[in-house]
Structure 1
């Protein structure tokens, strides 16, 4: 069973993603702040991460930097899922190593397809 780490402080979004991912057979691990996201990524070695940009403790860019700098987590595919839509945010996240970037509001099925593609490419 593949594991997806969902990092977001929006409880309704986490619930939606957990339901969608769970119904597709994924194990879902949740982190509601950036500090917890870094810890969970190291502990559970997820197959992919869905990461919000605006979170407490550490923001998404700080989390992304730390995960990509750590040999244990550097190869985990990361999709940024955020309300930030400015060019500097998108390009900045991609330059830091994000594998994909989706802007909220988003189409849940599009996220599922992108996740499946990234995880298949990692195998």
Structure 2
């Protein structure tokens, strides 16, 4: 992590914290739709069945999007921070390992539950 060169480079924290949530964003935006689709796909693939896994899925999609953006900018402009990229890639790998890198099958219901549901 690089330190600010001077006090003018420092970022000030806001006096009051105002949380932001994906659910409050414009759901018509193509970026929001892409993020939601990727979150849903990863949840399904890894069998995210808890709040903890849901949090990890959201972070993994965000970090993945950051990496993809860095790659596109590198291709378009030639600018590339390999240190930052490597750190983010390792972060993504850690998140994916925590979620499980293999696709998980849905839990099968009992025959009785299936028959009750179909009635």
TM-score, structure 2 as length reference: 0.31
Instruction: Compare the two structures and name the one with the higher strand fraction.
Output: 1
- The structure showing larger relative contact order (alpha-carbon pairs under 8 Å, at least 6 residues apart) is 2
Instruction: Compare the two structures and name the one with the higher helix fraction.
Output: 2
Q: Which one has a bigger Cα radius of gyration?
A: 2
TM-score, structure 1 as length reference: 0.30
